[in-house]
């Protein structure tokens, strides 16, 4: 992961305010409250809003991001909420997670660089036990039209960093699809996700 990418996220997370708020993503919340607790991994977790919510429900939470500033904010948020999370800083290939370690993996606006996003998905799926779930929400390729009308909705400006339903099917071939849809939603998450956008939502169970 190049230094420009790391610096960009450290800069975004270095302010006192939480870039995407302190409340969990709505779709993640909707999914997690239906499940029995277990172990869960949050890739590209930023300032920790989703990881802390899962910990408050009783999940054993692991998270990672390339931003040390994100980790600092996440640990602060966890402390404020009297929970603990295991949070590592680094690119996925430098971290030592184990095969079938997790009961769930939550990819919430985890927009990795285009050159690695599919390989990351395939690596992450190895860390999920059979029967485990991937919970995914991120911007679709159609989102560029929304971004052109309203920059406050946020999201990558490079189409190759955005997602399609076909990409998700290809990246997670050994999963039973529980939900896979492209949807227009209204976002209200902190400073950088505000307004109408187009997202892909996916819940898949590893076969």
From first to last of its 207 residues, the chain has per-residue pLDDT tens of 688 889 999 999 999 999 999 999 999 999 999 999 999 999 999 999 999 999 999 999 999 999 999 999 999 999 999 999 999 999 999 999 999 999 999 999 999 999 999 999 999 999 999 999 999 999 999 999 999 999 999 999 999 999 999 999 999 999 999 999 999 999 999 999 999 999 999 999 999
Give the list of residues 6+ apart from residue 26 with CB closer than 8 angstroms, or none.
none
pLDDT of residue 1: 60
Domains and CATH numbers, the chain: 3-206 (3.40.50.150)
Tokens of 55: 């910990």
Q: How far apart are CA 53 and CA 112, in angstroms?
A: 23
Backbone angles phi, psi at 62, to 5 degrees: -120, 145
pLDDT of residue 96: 94
Q: How far apart are CA 196 and CA 171, in angstroms?
A: 26
């Amino acid at each position: 992961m190049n230094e420009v990418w790391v610096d960009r996220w450290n800069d975004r997370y270095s302010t006192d305010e939480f870039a995407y708020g302190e409340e969990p993503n709505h779709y993640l919340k909707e999914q997690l409250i239906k499940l029995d607790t277990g172990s869960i991994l949050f890739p590209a977790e930023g300032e920790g809003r989703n990881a802390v919510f899962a910990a408050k429900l009783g999940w054993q939470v692991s998270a990672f991001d390339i931003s040390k500033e994100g980790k600092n904010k996440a640990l602060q948020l966890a402390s404020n909420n009297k929970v603990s999370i295991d949070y590592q800083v680094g690119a996925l290939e430098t971290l030592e997670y184990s095969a079938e370690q997790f009961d769930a993996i939550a990819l919430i606006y985890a927009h990795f660089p285009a050159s690695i996003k599919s390989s990351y998905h395939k690596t992450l799926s190895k860390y999920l036990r059979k029967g485990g779930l991937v919970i995914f929400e991120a911007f679709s390729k159609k989102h560029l039209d929304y971004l052109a009308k309203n920059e406050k909705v946020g999201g990558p400006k490079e189409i190759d960093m955005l997602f399609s339903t076909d990409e998700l099917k290809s990246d997670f071939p050994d999963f039973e699809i529980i939900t896979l849809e492209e949807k227009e939603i209204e976002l209200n998450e902190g400073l950088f996700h505000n307004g109408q956008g187009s997202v892909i939502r996916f819940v898949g169970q590893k076969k």
